[in-house]
């Protein structure tokens, strides 16, 4: 008979679920919102505006539940503790990142990379035969793999070149997925069939990047708020990342990118991002709806 017997609840189960209900109805006060948004900005450069308050609240509630806490302030004390809170702060920032991405995102720009930038770099670097590209804010790997596929297709004798694509992100969660290099059929849909056949192997309904492609890429954790120590780069892709930063943080980032690029190096930004008002040390190149900046000064 339905309802006649009750399944024994595991110990502590009801307390946990009532805690969950309580936490999910907790409203973030103005002071708490300010405390957390400042903490996140200081750590990552990510600027959380008033319009994103509910987004922050929901993500915080998940972290509170993970720690079985029922007070934002108690969680703030935990996460802002310089010794004990570092790992949790990484997880909190990670949970606030937006990781939307796709292969060959912004196709006209990727065409500029393939048809203008790589041929120019091949000419300029034919003696050294060395290319260094950085995908800064690489998310789940679609961007660095797209860069590497394009390079391999364009370099006639790729094996005689020393090519490295550095791919970094602040989210350990997405870096792990990127390193795995395994994608669904839907994800590889906008990879040109010729590229898909050359660079992926189908394994159990997933598309796995082949070792030849994988080995060009070095994945690493890097917070763009910090110094990067890189120099002499031929190109930096930092697309759809700067939009989450405020003006001052964008300015600092562009200065760092400028220092990291070689003379004549290229900077690829997202299609809503611009250097206007941030730097006059780059030349704007626009070709067939694709845009890129080249370091001049």
- As annotated, the active-site residues are 59, 169
Question: Residue 218 in contact with residue 167, Cβ under 8 Å?
Answer: yes
- Nearest residue (CB) to ligand SAM, 39 versus 224: 224
Query: Which residue, among 39, 234, 201, 224, has the nearest Cα to 139 in the 3D structure?
Result: 224
Query: How far apart are alpha carbons 20 and 12 in whole angstroms?
Result: 12
Query: How far apart are alpha carbons 134 and 167 in whole angstroms?
Result: 6
Query: How far apart are alpha carbons 131 and 232 in whole angstroms?
Result: 10
Question: Residue 172 in contact with residue 137, Cβ under 8 Å?
Answer: no
Which residues ranging from 140 to 159 are in contact with ligand SAM (CB under 6 A)? 143
Candidates 41-49, 65-73, 123-131, 202-210: pick the segment binding ligand SAM (CB under 6 A): 41-49
- Nearest residue (CB) to ligand SAM, 75 versus 245: 245
Question: b/e for 236-273, b at 16 or more Cβ within 10 A?
Answer: bbbbbbbebbeeebbeebbebbbebbbeebbbbbbeeb
Query: Is residue 172 a contact point for ligand SAM (CB under 6 A)?
Result: no
Query: Is residue 97 a contact point for ligand SAM (CB under 6 A)?
Result: yes
H or E segment and range at residue 292: strand 290-295
Query: Which residue, among 37, 95, 97, 51, has the nearest Cα to 244 in the 3D structure?
Result: 97
- As measured in angstroms, the least distance from the Cβ of 222 to ligand SAM is 6
Query: Is residue 37 a contact point for ligand SAM (CB under 6 A)?
Result: no
Query: Is residue 165 a contact point for ligand SAM (CB under 6 A)?
Result: no
Query: Is residue 174 a contact point for ligand SAM (CB under 6 A)?
Result: yes
Query: How far apart are alpha carbons 163 and 166 in whole angstroms?
Result: 10
Among 28, 79, 151, 169, binds ligand SAM (CB under 6 A): 169
Among 154, 225, 271, 281, binds ligand SAM (CB under 6 A): 225
- As measured in angstroms, the least distance from the Cβ of 225 to ligand SAM is 5
Query: Is residue 44 a contact point for ligand SAM (CB under 6 A)?
Result: yes
Among 37, 101, 150, 228, binds ligand SAM (CB under 6 A): 101
Query: How far apart are alpha carbons 158 and 146 in whole angstroms?
Result: 16
Among 80, 223, 251, 279, binds ligand SAM (CB under 6 A): 223
Candidates 68-76, 79-87, 151-159, 222-230: pick the segment binding ligand SAM (CB under 6 A): 222-230
Contact residues toward ligand SAM (CB under 6 A) are 44-46, 97-101, 105, 137, 139, 143, 169-171, 174, 223-225, 239-241, 244, 270
């Amino acid at each position: 008979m339905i309802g006649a017997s009750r399944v024994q609840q595991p110990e502590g189960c009801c307390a946990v679920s009532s805690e969950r209900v309580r936490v999910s109805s907790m409203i973030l006060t103005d002071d708490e919102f300010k405390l957390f948004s400042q903490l996140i900005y200081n750590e990552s450069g990510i600027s959380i505006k008033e319009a994103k308050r509910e987004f922050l609240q929901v993500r915080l509630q998940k972290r509170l539940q993970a720690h079985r806490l029922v007070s934002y302030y108690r969680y703030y004390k935990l996460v802002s503790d310089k010794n004990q809170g570092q790992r949790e702060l990484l997880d909190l920032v990670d949970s606030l990142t937006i990781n939307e991405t796709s292969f060959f995102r912004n196709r006209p720009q990727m065409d500029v990379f393939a048809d203008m930038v790589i041929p120019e770099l091949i000419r300029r670097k034919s003696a050294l035969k060395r290319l260094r590209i950085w995908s800064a804010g690489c998310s789940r790997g679609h961007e660095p793999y797209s860069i590497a596929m394009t390079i391999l297709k364009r370099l006639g004798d790729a094996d005689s070149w020393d090519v490295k694509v550095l791919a970094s992100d602040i989210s350990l969660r997405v870096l792990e997925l990127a390193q795995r290099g395994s994608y669904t059929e839907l994800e590889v849909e906008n990879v040109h069939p010729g590229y898909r056949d050359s660079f992926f192997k189908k394994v159990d309904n997933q598309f796995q990047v082949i070792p030849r492609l994988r080995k060009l890429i070095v994945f690493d954790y890097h917070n763009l708020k910090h110094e990067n120590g890189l120099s002499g780069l031929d190109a930096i892709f930092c697309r759809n990342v700067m939009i989450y930063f405020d003006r001052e943080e964008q300015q600092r980032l562009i200065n760092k990118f400028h220092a990291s690029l070689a003379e004549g190096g290229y900077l690829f930004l997202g299609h809503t991002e611009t250097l206007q008002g941030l730097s006059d040390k780059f030349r704007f190149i626009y070709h067939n709806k694709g845009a890129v900046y080249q370091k001049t000064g």
